[in-house]
Amino acid sequence: MHQRQKPSAPEHRSDPAADGGALSMSHNDSRSLLNLSQLVLSAGQIKPSPALKHSKITYFEVEILDVQSKKQICIVDKVPPASTVLDVKHKFHKACPQWYPSRVGLQLERNGPFLKDSINIQSLAVSSIITLYFTDLGQQVGWTTFFLTEYTGPLLIYLLFYIRLSTIYDQVESRKNFRHPVVHLACFCHCLHYIRHLLETLFVHKFSEGHAPLKNMIKGCAFYWGFTSWIAYYINHPRYTPPSFGHRQVSYAALAFLMCEAGNHFINVALAHQTNSGNKTCFPSPTYNPFTWLFLLVSCPNYTYEAGSWISFTVMTQTLPVGIFAFLMVIQMSLWAQKKHKLYLKRFYPEVRRKAAMIPVIF
């Protein structure tokens, strides 16, 4: 038998150097890749270059035209998308220093409403160029200054007539005639009314953005200050005659006046609390406070109580100037109430649709 001869090693064995070299190279590549991965992870996220970051931002150009002549006043360029209308007004003021931001009125359409300062400029954009119309609103004052000036005047003016200055009344006649108690009560109620307004202006009311025209403040001061002078002159006159039904008429009217003042205050507090809490999705609802139950019948009970205060004051003093002032106030309050009622209908239709604006059935 012949032994089977084994094949020689050089013929059938693979090259050790070649195999070992291939394994060594793949192992080194794996270690290099692992080291590179660890380096990237330790270095953190790779930040994009500033040029790439800024290249993605879109700027707007705001073209401002005169609302009357449609002529271009200026172009506010490089407006970021996050800017507001107020930011555009400040940039416009830098280009045209004669117009302060408070007196600049901007409209998207010539006959459209003025844009609020908080509106985002990107929400108005159809393209990269936005066209707005400019209106000079005139000299402006803040709402707090507006109401403080309007309400401080009547408070001081009435007190000047109450002390019966010698330049207003005859001193001999003033000492001779006795003051009826309703004169002192009227002074207390009148001062209480305007002190409440001043305190609510400072601590309760949250005014909307923007300012009020100075000419409107002058008109308001002329109205309130003028009527206060007329009212105070007659009530504090030495020849003033008390109401026809005497103490009973004065007492009931004074009680109604105080109740209307309290109701007006609690309604204003409820409205301010709604604004502060940010809950603007539902109409204010009555609370455990009975003075807020008027919300069940009318949408603007603060105007209802305000009108009730002046009607009660008219009955209490039985004076013609107070009656005329109360009549004008009821008309003005009803106009304001109807305007606000229409806004409530748009926002809170299900809750407000069966309510009156100010006085049930009548308004």
- What's the CATH code of the domain at 120? 3.10.20.90
Of 17-21, 32-36, 79-83, least confident by mean pLDDT is: 17-21
Q: How confident is the model at residue 248 (pLDDT cuts 50, 70, 90)?
A: very high
Is pLDDT of 4 > 90?
no
Of 95-99, 148-152, 210-214, 330-334, least confident by mean pLDDT is: 210-214
Q: Is the dihedral of CA 332, 335, 340, 344 positive or negative?
A: positive
Query: Is there a single domain that holds both residue 287 and residue 307?
Result: yes
Of 33-42, 68-77, 121-130, 205-214, least confident by mean pLDDT is: 33-42
Angle at 316 between CA 265 and CA 337, to 5 degrees: 40
Is pLDDT of 232 > 70?
yes
Which pLDDT value is given to residue 284?
A: 79
Is 17 a domain residue? no
Is 26 a domain residue? no
Which pLDDT value is given to residue 351?
A: 75
Tell me which of 122 and 280 has the higher pLDDT: 122
The domain boundary, picked from 120, 138, 156, lies at 138
Q: How confident is the model at residue 13 (pLDDT cuts 50, 70, 90)?
A: very low
Task: Determine the structural domain holding residue 197 and report its residue range.
Answer: 139-241
pLDDT tens-digit series, residues 58-82: 889 999 999 999 999 999 988 998 9
Is pLDDT of 186 > 70?
yes
Tell me which of 209 and 125 has the higher pLDDT: 125
φ/ψ region of 46 (left if φ > 0, alpha if ψ in -120 to 50, else beta) reads beta
Please state, in angstroms and rounded to a whole number, the distance separating the CA atoms of residues 65 and 73: 5
- In whole numbers, what is the pLDDT of the chain averaged over residues? 84
Is 77 a domain residue? yes
Number of separate domains in the chain: 3
Query: Is there a single domain that holds both residue 228 and residue 154?
Result: yes
Of 44-58, 242-256, 263-277, least confident by mean pLDDT is: 44-58
Q: How confident is the model at residue 158 (pLDDT cuts 50, 70, 90)?
A: very high
Is pLDDT of 306 > 70?
yes
HSE at residue 341, side-chain half, CA atoms within 13 A, is 25
The domain boundary, picked from 219, 241, 263, lies at 241
Please report, rounded to a whole number, the percentage of residues in the chain having pLDDT higher than 90: 60
Is pLDDT of 53 > 90?
no
Query: Is there a single domain that holds both residue 168 and residue 264?
Result: no
The domain boundary, picked from 182, 217, 241, lies at 241
Q: How confident is the model at residue 283 (pLDDT cuts 50, 70, 90)?
A: confident
Instruction: Output 79-85 pairs: Cβ under 8 A, ≥24 positions apart.
Output: 79/121, 79/130, 81/57, 81/120, 81/121, 81/122, 81/125, 82/120, 82/122, 83/120, 83/121, 84/117, 84/118, 84/119, 84/120, 84/121, 85/115, 85/116, 85/117, 85/118, 85/119, 85/121
Which pLDDT value is given to residue 92?
A: 93
Q: pTM for the whole thing?
A: 0.77
Which pLDDT value is given to residue 136?
A: 92
Is 128 a domain residue? yes
Query: Is there a single domain that holds both residue 67 and residue 79?
Result: yes
Backbone phi, psi, residue 115, to 5°: -75, 140
Query: Is there a single domain that holds both residue 197 and residue 219?
Result: yes
Query: Is there a single domain that holds both residue 257 and residue 351?
Result: yes
Average pLDDT over every residue of 116-120? 91
